[in-house]
Structure 1
Amino acid sequence: MAENNASHSSFARWWRQVLFVPLLHSKWLTTEARARLTDKVTSAERGHQGEVFLIIENHLPIQEAYHVGCRDRAIDLFSEYRVWDTEENTGVLVYVNICEHQLEIVADRGISAHVSPTVWRAMCEKAVSGIAHKKTEESLAELLDEVGQVLRQYYHLENNPEGNELSDTLVFLK
């Protein structure tokens, strides 16, 4: 989660996307790992009215990579997947870009009124550190738990009604 939302044009970023070979970097994201992370999203949503949405992307779209960085891409996906479209504006997108080794959290205005950007940043940095140590799935699972805890802190429900507003299924963009 970057403090500065502006992307700068970058030939180096574009070139990394062009040269990225998914088979070398996303072997950890097996069908089983996807199912476990989807279960973690479901678990992270228990006990509160918030919505957690996880997107993992191999690389930025080549046609956009020169001008669009990971933060802007996460914001675009937040809109495209309508994570903002929840009753209490409590949607939280966790976006992982494998090629760039970046993780972004985009939180809707309802939860952003309670949680400072530094909290989200610290959570991202902790997960990125785990990912750097080849503990990708474990780090993402822990991050999802933390996001769920934050949402429960501000939107706790004694009786957690059925009514999932967004899919819990991990979205993988190749």
Structure 2
Amino acid sequence: MAENHASTSSFARWWRQVLFVPLLHSKWLTAEAKARLTDEVTRAERGHRGEVFLIVENHLPIQDAYHMDCRKRAIDLFSEYRVWDTEENTGVLIYVNICEHQLEIVADRGISTHVSPTVWSAMCEKAVSGISNKKTEESLAQLLDEVGQVLRQYYQLEHNPAGNELSDTVVFLK
């Protein structure tokens, strides 16, 4: 995760997206793995008023890849999926781009007043390290748990929330 990161044009990034073969890289995201990660999102949301949203994407959209990096894509998806639209501005998007081997966390302004960008960055680096060691699902599950712990620190609930503002279902963009 990079803060104040300006997206730069990259012909190499565009080519990586064009040449990416999903079948070779996203075998780990089976229906069962997606269901387990969805359960992890649900667990990560227990005991606090925050919302956690996980998006896994094979590659950047080809038409945008020259000008758009993973950070910019994550911010766009944060808006598109309305992660910002929670009552207390406590939405947290976790974005995984398989082609770029990158993970981004975008936190809404409510939680960002409490958690420094370096905390999110350290969480991303740890998860990316696990993913590079072929422990993708386990690394994402651990990351979801860590995000839930951070949200519990600042938005703890005595009782489980009455409602869920965002779906817990993992979004997979091919």
TM-score grouping bracket, smaller chain normalisation: over 0.9
CA shift, 1:4, in A, is 3.6
2:2 and 2:158 map into 1 onto residues whose CA distance is: 34
Residue 156 in structure 1 maps to residue 151 in structure 2: no
1:45 pairs with 2:45? yes
Aligned pair count?
Answer: 174
Letter in 2 for 1:94: I
Cα distance in 2 for partners of 1:161, 1:42 equals 12
Residue in 1 that maps onto 2:8: 8
Query: Where does the alignment leave 5 or more consecutive residues of structure 2 unmatched?
Result: none
1:79 aligns with 2:79: yes
Q: For the residues of structure 2 that align with 1:131 and 1:32, how far apart are their CA atoms? A: 18
Aligned residue runs from structure 1 range 47-126, under 5 A: 47-126=47-126
Tell me the SS of whatever aligns to 2:5.
Answer: coil
Aligned to 2:32: 32
Give the superposition deviation at 1:129: 0.1
4+ residue runs of structure 1 moved beyond 3 angstroms?
Answer: none
Once the two structures are aligned, what percentage of the paired residues are identical?
Answer: 87
Structure 1: gaps spanning 5 or more residues: none
Q: What's the TM-score once normalised by structure 2's chain length?
A: 0.99
**1:3, distance to aligned residue in structure 2 (A):** 2.6
Structure 2 CA distance, aligned partners of 1:161 and 1:128? 31
Q: Within 5 A, what are the aligned runs for 1:126-137?
A: 126-137=126-137
Determine the C-alpha separation between the residues in 1 that align with 2:161 and 2:95: 27
| Higher mean displacement: 8-17 or 158-167 | 158-167
- In structure 1, how many angstroms separate the alpha carbons of the residues matched to 2:151 and 2:124? 16
Given residue 145 of structure 1, which amino acid in structure 2 is its aligned partner?
D
Q: Secondary structure at the match of 2:42?
A: helix
**CA RMSD after TM alignment:** 0.5
Deviations along 1:32-59, one digit per CA (max 9) or x if unpaired, are: 0000000000000000000000000000
